[in-house]
Amino acid sequence: MAKATLLYNALFSPASRRSIYWLRLYQLSESRHIALLTEVPGNPGMSVINASSLLNREVAQAFAIHEGDLDVFVILPRMRRADGPIEPATYSQTPGPSRTEWRETSRRRIEALVGLLPQLPQHSDLFSAVLARGGRKHEWDREIFEAVPVSSLPPFHAPYQCAHSARFKSMLRDADDHSHDDALLAGQRFIASLTDRDRAICKYHQGNWAAIANASADIVARVDGRKPGAYFSAAEAVRLPNRDKMWLLSLFWDPLVLSQDRTEYTNGQHRGCALRFSGAEKAAVIVDFETIVDDHADWTYLGDG
């Protein structure tokens, strides 16, 4: 076979989609071509894997190649996500003119067809080039915690894990139309009905919730929550018995979340019930979310393999 000719080696954006990949396009013969598309940090659209069924047509149209004369390989490069482990590169041949189904392959097999692969730019240069082409910076939702007065926490509206949930269901059956408002009213009556003995047999009430609530409110007051994981790290440093420590940590890794109008829970209602009986003044609760965009990529490019 004649030596493959490298026709294109740069970022590539399909004309019909908002995606960015690195494309290495080779000509193997007068008609046969091979396209290698690599995922890049900052890609604002479909990943190279998710878009694989579209790539044959998109590259063929962009370079005036007959689709039947083009084989497409996709590469997920060696990468690191956040502070996680390094993930190895993977190589696949997509369905196309010479194959009807996916095939896992290797860099060695690809280089047997086209020769030694030229390197992509280092991560910082590659990410900058993707951004200049319309790429996306790292974006995440920051949880907005607030030390909420415990007396203002909403009642149950669906206590499915409570030891006394049958009582709540009975109260709800007595309502007129079982509407959402009826569920909240039934929750208020349910909480008012709980005795010391009732709470003593419920696993969610087993803990020093006053100490737990006070520690959580203190953390929200003194810790800069703009740093990911800051609240949880602060909770880990609090000295409490093991059972209470786990409940405290849960307020930050599986937090209580209130609806926008703060009239109901979207998470954590069983612990909310325990907090209402704690005697504490305030406890940490999520009341909103803020979208954060920083200057980094979602992952770091570490080469093709």
Alpha-helical runs (H) found in 63-122: 107-114
Report d(CA 133, CA 45) in Å as an integer.
12
Q: Encode pLDDT of 156-171 as tens digits.
A: 777 777 888 888 888 8
Model confidence band, residue 4 (pLDDT cutoffs 50, 70, 90): very high
Four-residue CA torsion sign, 3, 9, 126, 77:
negative
How would you write 49-102 as a 3-class SS string?
CCCHHHHHHHHHHHCCCCHHHEEEEEEECCEEECCCCEECCEEEECCCCCCCCC
Q: Which two tokens stand for residue 67?
A: 């689709």
Q: pTM here?
A: 0.59
Type of residue numbered 272: G
Determine the 3-state secondary structure of 144 from DSSP: strand
Q: Which residues pair with 75 in a beta bridge?
A: 38, 91
Give buried/exposed letters for 214-230 (b at 16+ CB in 10 A, else e). bbbbebbeebebeeeee
Q: Is residue 227 pLDDT above 50, yes or no? A: yes
List all residues 6 or more positions away from 192 whose beta carbon is below 8 Å from its beta carbon: none
Q: Encode pLDDT of 172-214 as tens digits.
A: 777 665 566 777 788 888 889 999 999 999 889 999 999 999 9
Site of tokens 């609530």: 213
Q: Encode pLDDT of 275-300 as tens digits.
A: 999 999 999 999 888 887 788 999 99
Q: Which two tokens stand for residue 50?
A: 């998710």
Type of residue numbered 241: P
Q: Encode pLDDT of 5-26 as tens digits.
A: 999 999 999 998 889 999 999 9
User: In which element (H, E) is residue 132 found?
Assistant: helix 123-132
